[in-house]
Structure 1
Amino acid sequence: MIDQNRNQGRKVIVIGAGLVGTLEAGCLARRGYEVHLYEYRGDIRKMDHVPGRSINLAMSIRGLAGLRLVGLEDKILREHGIPMRARMIHNTDGTTRAIPYNKDGKSIYSVGRRFVNEELLTRAESFPNVHFHFNHKLISANLDKGTATFLNTITQEEVHEEAELLIGCDGAYSNLRKQMMKRSQFDYSQQYIPHGYLELCIPATTNGEFAMPPNYLHIWPRGKFMMIALPNQDRTWTVSLFMPFEIYDEINTPELLLEFFKANYPDAIDMIGRERLIRDFFANKPFAMITVKCSPYHVGSTSLLMGDAAHAIVPFYGQGMNCGMEDCVVLNEIMDQYNDDLTQVLPAYSKHRNPDAEAIADLAMYNYIEMRDLVNSKLFLMRKKVDDFLCFWFPNTWIPLYTMVTFSRERYHLCISKKKWQDEILRKLLKVGGIAGIGMGMLFAKTEAAHALSCALIARLTNFTSKTLALTVR
């Protein structure tokens, strides 16, 4: 039970009213803090169109854990979450095939960014100790003293504020992080990838239904580029085209665009509609994608970075929002551990969270290669079957990487360590004379003799794996 009385009168300024900022405001309000939430934009609940990214979100267990802290998990899933149980791969000949995310049929959920943000704003607003300040831009801050100066973008007046804690949740181009970058011993790196994304839309059919099976994340993998589609509540699809900027530059006429789609995404042309495809493609420019790493995330007990301000990542693992929301969960857990003593909480948070944030940044880049290319590889599909097989026999020991990242709260850097350990185990298994490969190949055999042989081989594999796991796990 949180002792809210302990934190009454303790003022916190949260900068940025996006997904992480609004969630953190609600989390702090539950703990009794007086929260002032500053946002450069206006209130998105009052806007017809929200500037910036609108790419759909793939919500999984880490993001849901954050929503649970403020009582929104059930509402988001019930009213807006569409379960996606597998990847649906679209081939160039128009055929499709499904690749389940894991052997248990677990789902990730397609949700709209704006919908989640608006619900978080409304939830934060329900706390009497949360105060909104829209149309305010951070222009300077004293990170040691916890003071900040904001510009009211409507009146052009400056507002000077002081708080016990400043929290920067103001995105990949964070102004609070820029203040930290002026300090010594602050590590920072950013990397743009040479690929951009452009959003398109597949409308509902003439009878108001989905144009494709809805409970899938649809992927058109094409080696150096790809297209994905996530379902929406109104039966439309948010389509994201990812490819190198140089290819975007080459497609400069409607004729070239249609030729490109006929060669790579022929089944999508009719679903999108030729006129709409041409209009939407040339109406917008592709967005750049950036990875940001920095350390530490705090200054003393007075300033902290969270979400994209601390660790912007590319979207290919579907973990940007989930990681940011998990930041709020981790900070809440550490506050419990240290009884809200910020002199201990902030250093502990930086030390705990940084290796995980950097790990998921690396995993996100790896998953882009997997999604656009490896899903068509026989070796990739074989490895997935091996992982599922070993997970069936050793469910508490052998958990595939994607399952660890997406369907558990295993720390990200430990997910990578365990994947490396699994790779080493498989290398050892291959040295026993190909039993693993033969056993897996025979597993699906039709004849009784082949089935009996496969069972014998699998028994040997299982026995060997058990001994190897026992020797390796410490």
Structure 2
Amino acid sequence: MSTVTGDSAEVAVVGGGLAGCLLACFLARRGHQVTVYERRPDPRTAGAERGRSINLALSERGLDALRRIGLAEQVLADALPMRGRMIHPVARELDFQSYSVAGDRAINSISRGALNNALLDAAQAAPGVRLRFGHRLTALDPDTGELTHDTPDGPVRTTAEVILGADGAGSAVRRALRERGLIEERVDFLDYGYKELTIPPRAGQFALDPGALHIWPRGTSMMIALPNPDRSFTCTLFWPTEGPGSFAALGDPAAIEQHFGTHYPDVPALAPTLVEDYRLNPVGTLGAVHTSSWHTGGRVGLLGDAAHAIVPFYGQGANCAFEDVVELDRCLTDTDGRWSATLPLFERRRRDNTEAIAGMALANFVEMRDRVSSPLFQLGRRVEHALERALPGLYVSRYELVSFSTTPYARVRRRVARQHRALAGASALLLTGLLAAAGGYGRRSRAARSDPSR
């Protein structure tokens, strides 16, 4: 196989979603000729699939990538800032929990469809980029760079010097490499699924506070809601797939109404199409993808969910994929554009970080569904914010490091572990000192009682 050099190359990007379109924009800046192949029709004209949008929480990592192609301001114009979580208990009052110590930092709610459309427009306008919709990858030869796509007009065969799979968790590129025995994969499915609902505007206004990500934590399940510019909220149920209180357990309208009336008592009045949405919208699967290698042969690579899909509970799926694109671009610079060196370097630099956020995302699921309404958790958040105020720059919460910085995820995990160890050590010293002081006071008191002259 010939080595792909640093000169302008014919690059095939499989997947016209968020990562694929952003990648096309970055590669076009380098003078590459890029063809983006997307299995769906053009979503700008065909519309989105029902119940499949899952609003995104765009944060600093994603915004950093968008700034590099001059798209951040345009995207933020269609986004709504959320400065914290609004917790909806079953019976108690609502509880707002700020994301940052000063309450001034926000993650941004944006429709996946709106963001995808903006990126499609940017890719289409970039020099040297072609978009091909209705092209479903069915075969890939990594030795020759030949791709075969099913299209409405029949099979189409093309070739490319470089093939990059940005086609999501169910990646056809990854499957083609696996079927040839070039890579191995493991998909860890959760026994949870997701389903979307809608809370429409009320009298033309938001029915809930639009400045928060709303959470209904219920121990083994939860619902979240993110605001939209049209003053609606996109809600997502994260429920078990089987057993009591699961998607499988609820089918008829009466059971749906009864379940929500008991466990989400404020929701039925907010969602007049609740039963219809629940019955018609599909249940999506949740899982994490682990791939033995993200590249093969110096010309075929994977990135984003195609390489390392994670569960959505830290709001970092798209942000992480966008950061992949930024790092791949850096690797192209550091290798003088040699793809055979870029692809392995990219994996070496990113793998520890993607594994770190995968673990943190799973941990955050437990936090969101089980702990956020706990008085002990709320006390811990207050203590954490107090430490951030007392030790600015020295103590920074995990959430702030993940969502409001571009500190590598693996470094975040290590730093938070060090902070917790230091805090535990300081607490132990303080407790020891208090116990010693109490012991000394007790001895003096006993001595005074035995000797009245003291």
- Do they superpose with TM above 0.5? yes
- The aligned residue for residue 446 of structure 2 is none
Q: Does the CA contact (< 8 Å) of 2:51 and 2:281 recur in 1?
A: no
1:171-186 aligned at under 5 Å gives the runs: 171-182=168-179, 186=183
- Mapped to 1, the partners of 2:250 and 2:265 lie a distance apart of 16
Q: Does 1:149 align with 2:148?
A: yes
Q: Does 1:56 align with 2:55?
A: yes
Q: Does the CA contact (< 8 Å) of 2:210 and 2:227 recur in 1?
A: yes
> 97, 100, 103: which is aligned to 1:102?
100
Where do 5+ consecutive residues of structure 2 fail to align?
Answer: 1-5, 436-454
Question: Would the alpha carbon gap of residues 229 and 264 (structure 1) be closer, same or farther in structure 2, given more than 3 Å must change?
Answer: same
> 182, 193, 199: which is aligned to 1:202?
199
1:284 deviates by 2.5
- The aligned residue for residue 259 of structure 1 is 258
- Mapped to 2, the partners of 1:281 and 1:401 lie a distance apart of 34
1:20-39 aligned at under 5 Å gives the runs: 20-39=19-38
Q: Does the CA contact (< 8 Å) of 1:56 and 1:112 recur in 2?
A: yes
1:68-467 aligned at under 5 Å gives the runs: 68-78=67-77, 80-93=78-91, 95-104=93-102, 105-152=104-151, 154-156=152-154, 158-182=155-179, 186-206=183-203, 208-246=204-242, 247-273=246-272, 276-434=273-431
1:51 deviates by 5.9
- The aligned residue for residue 455 of structure 1 is none
- Mapped to 1, the partners of 2:146 and 2:69 lie a distance apart of 28
Q: Does the CA contact (< 8 Å) of 1:429 and 1:436 recur in 2?
A: no
1:311 deviates by 1.1
Question: Would the alpha carbon gap of residues 394 and 145 (structure 1) be closer, same or farther in structure 2, given more than 3 Å must change?
Answer: farther
Q: Does the CA contact (< 8 Å) of 1:94 and 1:267 recur in 2?
A: no
Give the alignment's Cα RMSD to 1 decimal: 1.9
- When Rg is computed on C-alpha atoms for both structures, the one with the higher figure is 2
- TM-score of the pair, normalised by structure 2: 0.90
Q: In the TM superposition, what whole-angstrom CA distance separates every residue of 1:86-136 from its partner, at most 9, and x where no partner exists?
A: 100111126201000011320000001111101101111112300111111
* Partner SS for 1:35: strand
Higher relative contact order (CA 8 A, sep 6+): 2
1:305 deviates by 0.3
- Mapped to 2, the partners of 1:22 and 1:351 lie a distance apart of 23
- Mapped to 2, the partners of 1:171 and 1:48 lie a distance apart of 19
Question: Would the alpha carbon gap of residues 202 and 382 (structure 1) be closer, same or farther in structure 2, given more than 3 Å must change?
Answer: same
> Identity of aligned pairs, percent?
37
- Greater mean deviation of Cα atoms: 83-92 or 392-401: 392-401
Q: In the TM superposition, what whole-angstrom CA distance separates every residue of 1:176-225 from its partner, at most 9, and x where no partner exists?
A: 1012223557342111101111111001012x000011110011111111
Q: In the TM superposition, what whole-angstrom CA distance separates every residue of 1:50-80 from its partner, at most 9, and x where no partner exists?
A: 36721100000111112122211000102x1
* Partner SS for 1:266: coil
- Greater mean deviation of Cα atoms: 306-315 or 292-301: 292-301
Q: Does the CA contact (< 8 Å) of 2:36 and 2:130 recur in 1?
A: yes
- Mapped to 2, the partners of 1:437 and 1:83 lie a distance apart of 44
Question: Would the alpha carbon gap of residues 422 and 185 (structure 1) be closer, same or farther in structure 2, given more than 3 Å must change?
Answer: farther
* Partner SS for 1:343: helix
Question: Would the alpha carbon gap of residues 334 and 12 (structure 1) be closer, same or farther in structure 2, given more than 3 Å must change?
Answer: same
More helix by share: 1
- The aligned residue for residue 43 of structure 1 is 42
1:382 deviates by 2.4
- The aligned residue for residue 452 of structure 1 is none
1:387 deviates by 2.1
Q: Does the CA contact (< 8 Å) of 2:48 and 2:113 recur in 1?
A: no
